[in-house]
Chain A
Amino acid sequence: MLSHHLKLLTIASFAIVLSAGAVTMQPSAHAEETKPAADQTAQAQPAAGEEEDLVDADGVPQYIVKDGKVDKGTYNGYRRYSATCHVCHGPDGAGSTFAPALVDSLKRMDYWAFTDTVTNGRANGASVMPAFGTDPNVMNHLGDIYRYLKARSDEKIGRGRPERFKS
């Protein structure tokens, strides 16, 4: 417990570095009306202790890239993405013949729309995204998966396995 608490403190100090402009991050661009209903937000919240609490004032998960290395949450996001999402969306969020490149999608889609799509799925003719709302391997790591894909989409990290900095 103590070590976890210490870890959070360390992360908070990185967050300060971040706001000082060491790494540029896109602020969440969502419009007020696209914010999901309270119950959906609740569904998207990770289980306590499952992921890092690095979020902005609106609750949008943030990533940290330092000297090309990523925070623990972003790294976890890479692993979870590569276990579940990549079988359709291709390695590294780069897209496939079957499903779109999420590195592009996240340039247009904000965190709330991302959360809604992953949780509830989406269908467009023969193109179908399943609902992962009941999948603990996804829902408990949703913020981290977003962190990873957002960092990829913002071109802060490249393809392949990112390296984690020690916290």
Chain B
Amino acid sequence: MKPFLRSLLVTAAMCAATTAYANDSVLKNQKDPNNWALQLGDYAGQRYSTLNQITRDNVKDLRVAWSFSTGVLRGHEGGPIVIGDTMFIHTPFPNTVYALDLNDRGRVKWKYEPKQDAAAIPVMCCDTVNRGVAVADGKVFLAQADNNLVALDAENGKVLWKTSNGDISKGETMTAAPLVVKDKVLVGISGGEFGVRGHLTAYDINTGKMAWRAMSTGPDKDVMIDPSKTLMLGKPIGEADLGVKTWPNDGWKLGGGTTWGWTTYDPELDLIYYGTGNPGTWNPTQRTKDGKPADNKWSMTIFARDPDTGEAKWVYQKTPFDEWDYDGVNENILADINIDGKQRKVLVNFDRNGFAYTIDRTNGELLKAAKFDPKVNWATGVDMKTGRPQTVEKFSTFANGEDTNSQGICPAALGSKDQQPASFSPQTGLFYVPTNHICMDYEPFEVSYSAGQPYVGATLSMYPAPESHGGMGNFIAYDAAAGKIVWSKPEQFAVWSGALTTAGGVGFYGTLEGYLKAFDLKDGKELYSFKTPSGIIGNVNTYQHKGKQYVAVLSGIGGWAGIGLAAGLTNSTDGLGAVGAHSSLGDYTQLGGVLTVFEVPSK
């Protein structure tokens, strides 16, 4: 089908909501395309802008308008928020926040720099990243590494309130961006590699008082599940306390299921959506029940919840009994698309495990599940009746057993896609997805739990997907209605930057070498690239100021990508010591946090 014809079948979804639901200021801000109001662009998480000054014809003239050093080394995830004349940016630890004046090329209006306990640094698995601030009702919300959730006055950066959401000494930290829904700010918790029991927590935006906390594991009461009402695959769960029964002994207390990804929201259905991470310890044998695989609920689960009460409306577990660290936190993008002749309200999730799930977001019914990287091999598919992956014995690290090295598993633990958010263009009806193209060997072994210490229990080595193009990433266009990859563009490194699509027919993403790239939404053809000062693991955004469209992105190599790929990957088939020089990220880029803002010069 031609993209333009397809676009007729796709509704713009979500942006028309004008009910008194949601947070009115957020809704007002996201409706105005001059702003980039939320980390994911809008509540639906589409990362799509209706701005169209920058087009596939003039994007080649893009140039740097201004830039700004954040003063912080380390990995810069997330991206800038723009509301009116102000841009808000954040940094990794120490989580500095800057309000920049767009009327004065980024002059600093105010700066907030918290004094944080440095003990937070080493318990942040995989770099001291932060995925950005939320802005609502004249307040800036920041989830600090030391577990302090802070509300700042958007006018002057003064602290309005501060509350603690966790405990560093248990390995708990915060990296996720908060989301404001109505009068509540929602935040998750990190620490999946430290035996942390995950939860999503809602705080009152005006006082910082906790409204509810929904655990990811444990009794139904803690998880806020009603087994007679909460749906699983369109039917009530039925059985009580699966969050306890599907674990050995008290395993759920060290259950993982952390919530460090993104949350999206449907104001009409009044439901929030987020995913829970991997179960505690990567050694599946320690999570069996009576020696048999156990689901370890509700790790690896998409939750739909009522934002007022926290009650779970529906659940879907993507990878029951994880054996590969396919940490299920990736964003759930909300879109209305035509599936088999019917317009459906769906949620699309590009999971770490390499499957893209298209789900009816009203009730959790699974509509499509397909591989979004053809190399995915740990499962052949997903059983549409049970929703379970059809796993391949050879790649089962449990079946192969403790102290056995299972080889050639695709994808690697960092997934076919990690936290880097994808984009949906209502114009083309396609999803644009930054992906990893990396496989692994995985050897689980027994570990002991010690509070605040890593609780991993597996050794893994990663390498570029064998018998492919040799690169470690792809940037793809995906049709979620058909469950098919439309086009795929190879990249030398994993693509760890959030994508952007625009009404100008142009999309953007960043690369680990540091390139900002513009591409044609139709066919992925590269239209522009510019090498920014450091590798990009941040998310690209666009906004309009004084009638002119800009594109902005944070550079600053780091994060899991910067750790795993900095020195390059070994390819087990190349033998010991063989590392292609091309695979070493350090040869291309070094640390440094910089904001770069692009424009097409006025004629």
Q: Give A118 to B123 CA distance when docked, in angstroms.
A: 14
Q: Known contacts being A94-B567, A128-B118, is A159 close to B577, with CB within 8 Å? A: yes
Q: Which residue of B lies closest to A132 (CB)?
A: B453
**A83 near B: Cβ within 8 Å?**
yes
**B255 near A: Cβ within 8 Å?**
no
| CB within 8 Å of B: which A131-167 residues | 132, 134-138, 157-163
| A82 to B: closest C-beta gap in Å | 4
Residues of B within 8 A of A138 (CB): 453
Q: Known contacts being A135-B450, A135-B453, is A98 close to B567, with CB within 8 Å? A: no
**B462 near A: Cβ within 8 Å?**
yes
Q: Which residue of B lies closest to A122 (CB)?
A: B122
Q: Is the CB of B462 within 8 A of A91?
A: yes
Say which size band chain B's interface belongs to.
Answer: 35 or more
Contact with A along B76-120 (1 / 0, CB 8 A): 000000000000000001100000000000000000000000110
| A90 to B: closest C-beta gap in Å | 5
Q: Is the CB of A83 within 8 A of B447?
A: yes
Q: Is the CB of A126 within 8 A of B121?
A: yes
| CB within 8 Å of B: which A81-101 residues | 82-84, 86-88, 90-92, 94-99, 101
**A68 near B: Cβ within 8 Å?**
yes
Q: Give A83 to B403 CA distance when docked, in angstroms.
A: 13
| A70 to B: closest C-beta gap in Å | 10
Q: Known contacts being A96-B562, A162-B576, is A90 close to B453, with CB within 8 Å? A: no
Q: Give A91 to B456 CA distance when docked, in angstroms.
A: 15
B405 is contacted by which of A68, A132, A159, A161 (Cβ under 8 Å)?
A: A161
| A105 to B: closest C-beta gap in Å | 14
Q: Is the CB of A95 within 8 A of B460?
A: no
Residues of B within 8 A of A86 (CB): 563
Q: Give A137 to B93 CA distance when docked, in angstroms.
A: 27
Instruction: Count how many chain A residues have C-beta atoms less than 8 Å from C-beta atoms of the other chain.
Output: 39
| A141 to B: closest C-beta gap in Å | 11
**B443 near A: Cβ within 8 Å?**
yes
Residues of B within 8 A of A159 (CB): 570, 576-579
| CB within 8 Å of A: which B573-597 residues | 575-579, 591
Q: Is the CB of A90 within 8 A of B567?
A: yes
Residues of A within 8 A of B591 (CB): 97
Q: Is the CB of A97 within 8 A of B75?
A: yes
**B408 near A: Cβ within 8 Å?**
no
Per CB-CB distance, the 8 closest pairs between chain A and chain B, nearest first, are A158-B577, A94-B567, A97-B562, A130-B122, A82-B459, A135-B453, A158-B576, A96-B563
Interface residues, chain A, with chain B CB atoms under 8 Å away: 68, 78-79, 82-84, 86-88, 90-92, 94-99, 101, 121, 123, 126-130, 132, 134-138, 157-163
10 A-B pairs with C-beta separation under 8 A: A82-B461, A88-B563, A96-B562, A98-B74, A128-B119, A128-B122, A130-B119, A135-B453, A138-B453, A160-B576
